Amino acid sequence: MVKYLLPSLDLLHTFEAVARNRSFTLAAEELCLTQSAVSRQIRSLEDTLTLRLFRRLHRAIELTPEGQRLFDSVTRGLDDISSCLAELGAAAKAPQFTVCASVAFAWFWLMPRLEHYRAQHPDIDLRVLATDQPVLPGSGEVDLAILFGSGQWEGLQAQLLFGEQVYPVCSPAYLRDHPELRRAEDLLDQTLLHLEYGKPSLGGVDWRTWLLQQGVNGQPVRRGVRFNSYPMVLQAAEAGHGVALGWSYISDPLLAEGRLVCPVDRKMETRDGYYLCTSTFAARNPGIIAFLDWIRGEVEGQGGFRMISGNATHTE
């Protein structure tokens, strides 16, 4: 039994063109047909439906009420089919997924390595969402996220990339100008650069937390400088404006390049770390699997980074 008793799609397509253009002549030009062929198809459709779809006026046509209803319905159907085909075609041409990371992680760690990824996977359309308000995978907006925390996120698979190490950094010129800076307590007499908006993405470690962990309980003598962006904090440190806190996954390469130095060799380690997180469904996507393999390889290949447990997977 035939489910849909419909006229041929060719007739409906011709009808849509005539109704939209309000002209047999313009529809014929659009469809690359003769005007007489278009007229015959419209007549055939009207005979099949036993309805008049157009009123033939002097040098003009207009839709009948029945024709208007059919036109609205056909337009919706053709629009839906066209949109579906476009989406299917785009999906077939370019696999796409979205990675979410903090601004600092995306700027300092991920972006410098994307050239390597693109060279290995040129056919994958990768979208990077940099935000300090983390978006969890499975929300419909992102497929994969690099999150800071304990690794316990309900409904997510979390693989630990590296732990958190925090230590002071400044420019070589700043250290030359402040030879008295040797111990943790000497930092109280320096210009400290503060990140005011760090809790969501950088674990909430600030100068007070770091100094207390080193046994320093006093108050800074000088006024510091405050920023709401970690890239700005590091730029200020490189420019010699003061001493900043460096997170090892960001600042280790800057120390290796000589752009920054560590004036006090004291590191603070927290219990949390940086995790590569996916939803259970997304973890089966071949493109995402390839990205996971790539980023784990990048972490393992960096001498300045520490892979604590590449197989530490938590699922709730």
DSSP codes of every residue in 108-164: IIIGGGHHHHHHH-TT-EEEEEE-SS---TTSSS-SEEEEEESS--TTEEEEEEEEE
149 has pLDDT over 70: yes
DSSP conformation letters of 84-114? HHHHHHHHHH--EEEEEE-HHIIIIIIGGGH
Give the whole-angstrom CA distance, residue 58 versus residue 195: 76
Residue 240 falls inside a structural domain:
yes
Q: What is the CATH number of the domain that holds 313?
A: 3.40.190.290
Give the whole-angstrom CA distance, residue 171 versus residue 237: 6
Same domain for 23 and 85, yes or no, is: yes
Same domain for 184 and 62, yes or no, is: no
| Of the candidate ranges 110-124, 127-141, 280-294, the one whose mean pLDDT is the lowest | 280-294
Tokens representing 127?
């979208």
For the segment 171-177, the average pLDDT, to the nearest whole number, is 96
pLDDT at 91: 58
pLDDT at 148: 86
pLDDT, tens only, 181-227: 999 999 999 999 998 865 545 567 899 999 999 999 888 888 899 99
| Of the candidate ranges 15-19, 61-65, 82-86, 252-256, the one whose mean pLDDT is the lowest | 82-86
pLDDT, tens only, 278-315: 887 766 677 788 888 888 888 887 643 333 333 333 33
At residue 22, the 3 state secondary structure works out as coil
Give the whole-angstrom CA distance, residue 74 versus residue 116: 48
pLDDT at 314: 34
Same domain for 47 and 121, yes or no, is: no
Same domain for 133 and 31, yes or no, is: no
The number of domains in the chain is 2
Show which of 92, 109, 129 is a domain's final residue: 92
Same domain for 210 and 159, yes or no, is: yes
For the segment 21-35, the average pLDDT, to the nearest whole number, is 92
For the segment 164-189, the average pLDDT, to the nearest whole number, is 94
**Which 8-state DSSP code applies to residue 282?**
G
In which domain, by residue range, is 20 found?
9-92
Residue 4 falls inside a structural domain:
no
| Of the candidate ranges 21-25, 146-150, 201-205, 258-262, the one whose mean pLDDT is the lowest | 201-205
Residue 3 falls inside a structural domain:
no
∠ at Cα 306 (213, 297), nearest 5°? 150
Same domain for 249 and 124, yes or no, is: yes
Residue 1 falls inside a structural domain:
no
Interacting residues of 180 by C-beta distance below 8 A, sequence separation 6+: 186, 189
Same domain for 111 and 203, yes or no, is: yes
Same domain for 192 and 276, yes or no, is: yes
